[in-house]
Amino acid sequence: MQIYENCSLVNHNTFHIEAVAEKLVRIEQEKDILTVLAFNQSLNILGGGSNILFTKNPAGVVCLNQLKGITILEENNDFVRVEFGSGEVWHDCVLWAIDRGYGGIENLSLIPGTIGAAPLQNIGAYGVELKDVFYSLNAIHRSTLEHHTFSKEQCNFGYRESVFKHALKNQYFITSVTLELSKKPVIRTDYGSILDELKAMHCHEPYSIKQVSDAVIRIRSSKLPDPKDIGNAGSFFKNPVISQEHFNQLKNTFHNMPSYPAPDGVKIPAAWLIEQCGWKGFKEGNYGVHPKQALVLVNYGGSSGEQLYHLSERIIQSVLDKFQITLHREVNVW
C-alpha cells in the first residue's frame, strides 16, 4: 500500500480533468482495503478513471484499485471460469482470453477501464453485455468489512445498470470478478458494422474470435478518439428506451429515426438524437462534442469538469425539447 498526499488526479481520469485528492491510496492487496476501511469507510474508488467526470476535488480518501491476478478456477470441454483481480485492465483481460481461445468477450474489445468497474454498469457493446459471461464477483462491505460473493442474479443486471448503482451504491469494494468463457464460442457479427468490417479485412467464414476482436478495435478506433490524445470518457450518454407508443408518434414526424428492439420498449441511438439537435462537432473554447461521434464529449485541453457537465445539461435539454426523450448520463459525475 502506498499513500500520496495532495495528489493530482489529472493522469487518473481519461477526461484529463485537473482535480486533487487530499489523500490517494494505492490498493495492491485485499489487506490494503481492509486497513483503509478500518479507519475510513467513506471512500472514493478509482479504477481506470474512464467513466468519471470530476467537477470538483473529491472529498476524503481516494483509493486507486491495483488488485491484480488471473486465475482459472474451473474448466471442462465447454467452458472455463476465470477469476480476474478487479484492478486488471478490461481490454488486457479480453486479449488474455482471446490468446487462449476463450470466447464471449471479444465484442467488448477496447472498452476502457478496469474489470472491477465492469459489473457496476454492466458494460456492453456490439450486441454483447457483461452479464452474458458473468458468473460471480467477490466484494468487501465497507462498513462491516465482511466478504461477500454475488451471483449474476444478485447483481440484478439491466441495460448499463446493476444493484451496485442503486440499492447497494457505495456499499462494497469489488475485489475480483469471475467470468464463464466458452471454449466453443458463438461468434456474434449481427450488430453494428462488424460484418462489414470483417469483409473489409478480407476475412472469411467461419470467423474467429480474434478476427471479431480486431474488427471491433478497428471500428472503435475509427469512431472514438483515443483518450491519450483527446480527453474523453467514451459514450457520455446511455441509449434511451422509450415506449412503442412514443416511438410510433415520433416516427410520424422523424421518418428516418433508427431504432432497436428492447425488452421494455424501443431503444433509440442517443448519438442520432444528439446529432439531430445539431451538437455533433460542436466546439466552445477547449471543449465540445466529437466531430465523428456525437455521444462523446471531449476536453481538448484545459477545460473543467463543470464546463463539460453544463454542456451535457444543454444537450439533455435540447433532446428533451425536440423529441420528448430524456437522456441519462453513462458517465459518473464526481
Residue 261: inside a domain, yes or no?
A: yes
CA dist., res. 90 & res. 11, Å (int): 18
For the question of residue 330 being annotated catalytic, the response is yes
Given 83, 88, 197, 330, the catalytic residue: 330
Domain that residue 87 falls in: 70-199
Last residue in a domain, options 199, 220, 241: 199
Nearest Cα to Cα of residue 237 among 194, 280, 285, 197:
280
Cα–Cα distances (Å) from 307 to 22, 38, 59, 155, 221, in that order, read 23, 37, 20, 34, 26
| Domain containing residue 59: CATH number | 3.30.43.10
Q: For each of the chain's 334 residues, which pLDDT tens digit applies?
A: 788 899 999 999 999 999 999 999 999 999 999 999 888 767 888 888 888 999 999 988 899 999 999 999 999 999 999 999 999 999 999 999 999 999 999 999 999 889 999 999 999 999 899 999 999 999 999 999 999 999 999 999 998 899 999 899 989 999 999 999 999 999 999 887 999 999 999 999 999 999 999 999 999 998 888 888 899 998 999 999 999 999 999 999 999 999 988 888 999 999 999 999 999 999 999 999 999 999 999 999 999 999 999 999 999 999 999 999 999 998 989 8
Residue 205: inside a domain, yes or no?
A: no
Looking at the structure of the chain, the number of domains it has is 3
Nearest Cα to Cα of residue 261 among 234, 242, 236, 286:
242
Are 288 and 261 part of one and the same domain? yes
Question: Beta strands of 76-121 (E only): which ranges?
Answer: 79-85
CA dist., res. 157 & res. 133, Å (int): 12
Last residue in a domain, options 65, 80, 115: 65
Concatenated DSSP letters of 241-279: EE-HHHHHHHHHH-TT---EEETTEEE--HHHHHHHTT-
Given 160, 182, 208, 275, the catalytic residue: 160
Residue 218: inside a domain, yes or no?
A: no
For the question of residue 275 being annotated catalytic, the response is no
Are 81 and 151 part of one and the same domain? yes
DSSP 16: -
Are 51 and 88 part of one and the same domain? no
Are 166 and 240 part of one and the same domain? no
Three-class secondary structure assignment of 183-251: CCCCCCCCCCCHHHHHHHCCCCCCCCHHHHHHHHHHHHHHHCCCCCCCEECCCCECCCEECHHHHHHHH
Q: SS3 for 147?
A: strand
Are 261 and 315 part of one and the same domain? yes
For the question of residue 160 being annotated catalytic, the response is yes
| Domain containing residue 303: CATH number | 3.90.78.10
Given 235, 303, 304, 312, the catalytic residue: 235
C-alpha cell at 25: 491510496
| Domain containing residue 136: CATH number | 3.30.465.10
Residue 36: inside a domain, yes or no?
A: yes
In the block, which residue shows the cell 463539460?
A: 308
Residues 6+ apart with CB under 8 A from 80: 72, 74, 102, 180, 181, 183
Q: SS3 for 91?
A: helix
Note the pTM of the prediction, 2 decimals: 0.84
